[in-house]
Amino acid sequence: MNAPIIHTFPKTQELSTSLADLVVKLCKEAIEMRDRFTVGISGGSLPKLLAADLKTRQGIEWDKWEVFFCDERLVPLDHEDSNYFLCKKEFFDHVSIPEEQIYTINSSLLPQLEDAASKDKETEEEEAANLIDDYREKLISVFATVNSVKFPVFDLLLLGVGPDGHTCSLFPNHPLLNENVEWVAYIGDSPKPPPRRITFTLPVINHAHNIAFVATGEGKQDVLKEIIGNSESKLPSALVQPVTGKLYWFLDDAAATKLTLSK
Ligand SMILES: O=C(O)[C@H](O)[C@@H](O)[C@H](O)[C@H](O)COP(=O)(O)O
């Protein structure tokens, strides 16, 4: 794996500007090469930090963007827990990415899942498979014709990291960390609410051309020390190791305090 590229900033505003610079650069390169820009986005603080500066930039070919969710909570799309809802409020409502190029979960399948989950685990997983299949089909519709590969290859995945080291909906010590075939997986027992989610798997993440983690605040100091400072770490975020792509970290000084970084 290439060594991670770590950027730190005194203020989140500066982080947002630098992140926007990277997105603009990768977007231009991807459009030149493949006439589109494929992006995976996460929830948490990321959409706001991403959009703060990016939404003010001129000349971005938003109509070339194809946007997926690295993970999604299985709640209606207008629910305040929905990552889509958050991204819409913070980002999509301020730019002109065509709606049909923002790939959401099929929320019409949620009532059946709720119903199945109230019965037993097997019925729940059967029903969840419909949501997974639907999201995989959406990925296939964008990626399969261009990259006839085992996994989709995103131009950019934007990830957050939880204080426990989770990323997407991949949590520490969870069996989903061993998934190495499927593109999208269901988790019905997320330790962070809401419990039911879908998530990209590690191989999908690790096949991306570029991955950018964004983490801010002193609450991330210890976990970043473990993820970035300990090459043996098995925390989910530490298992993000692009096969050939580049890995970026965008941190504020508060989050980066315990890291030993070369200047
Ligand atoms: O679905 C979720 O629960 C969130 O998307 C979550 O995975 C988030 O990305 C991290 O917890 C980092 O969150 P912050 O950036 O807000 O710390």
HSE toward the beta carbon, residue 159, CA cutoff 13 A: 33
From CA 22, how far away is CA 129, in angstroms rounded? 35
Nearest CA to ligand 1 atom 10: 162
Q: Which of 71, 90, 205 to mutate to test the pocket of ligand 1 (most atoms within 8 A of CB)?
A: 71
* 1, 247 contact by CB (below 8 A): yes
CA 160 vs. chain centroid, Å, equals 7
User: What contacts 173, CB < 8 A, 6 or more positions away?
Assistant: none
What angle do helix axes 46-54 and 12-34 make, rounded to 10 degrees? 80
Per residue in 124-135, pLDDT (tens digit) is 999 999 999 999
Note the ipTM here: 0.95
pLDDT of residue 168: 98
* 76, 112 contact by CB (below 8 A): no
From CA 9, how far away is CA 21, in angstroms rounded? 14
CA of 133 relative to ligand 1 center, distance in Å: 24
CA of 153 relative to ligand 1 center, distance in Å: 22
pLDDT of residue 149: 66
Cα→Cα distances 211→94, 132, 240, Å: 23, 23, 9
pLDDT of residue 35: 97
pLDDT of residue 2: 76
Q: Which of 79, 190, 192, 222 to mutate to test the pocket of ligand 1 (most atoms within 8 A of CB)?
A: 192
Strand order in the sheet with 184-187: 71-73, 197-200, 184-187
From CA 74, how far away is CA 188, in angstroms rounded? 9
Which residues in the chain show pLDDT less than 70?
145-149, 262-263
pLDDT of residue 1: 72
Query: Domain ranges in the chain?
Result: 5-105+149-256
Identify the CA nearest to 253 among candidates 49, 10, 27.
Answer: 10
pTM for the predicted model, two decimal places: 0.96
From CA 249, how far away is CA 160, in angstroms rounded? 10
- Residue 105 has a CB neighbour count (10 Å cut-off) of 25
Q: Does 192 sit in the ligand 1 pocket, CB within 6 Å?
A: yes
Instruction: Point out the ligand 1 atom lying closest to the alpha carbon of residue 49.
Output: 15
CATH class of 5-105+149-256: alpha beta
Q: Does 160 sit in the ligand 1 pocket, CB within 6 Å?
A: yes
pLDDT of residue 16: 98
* 153, 139 contact by CB (below 8 A): no
Q: Does 219 sit in the ligand 1 pocket, CB within 6 Å?
A: no
Q: Does 4 sit in the ligand 1 pocket, CB within 6 Å?
A: no
Nearest CA to ligand 1 atom 8: 44
Burial class (CB in 10 A: 0-12, 13-18, 19+), 14: middle
Cα→Cα distances 103→47, 71, 244, 256, Å: 16, 12, 26, 33
* 133, 185 contact by CB (below 8 A): no
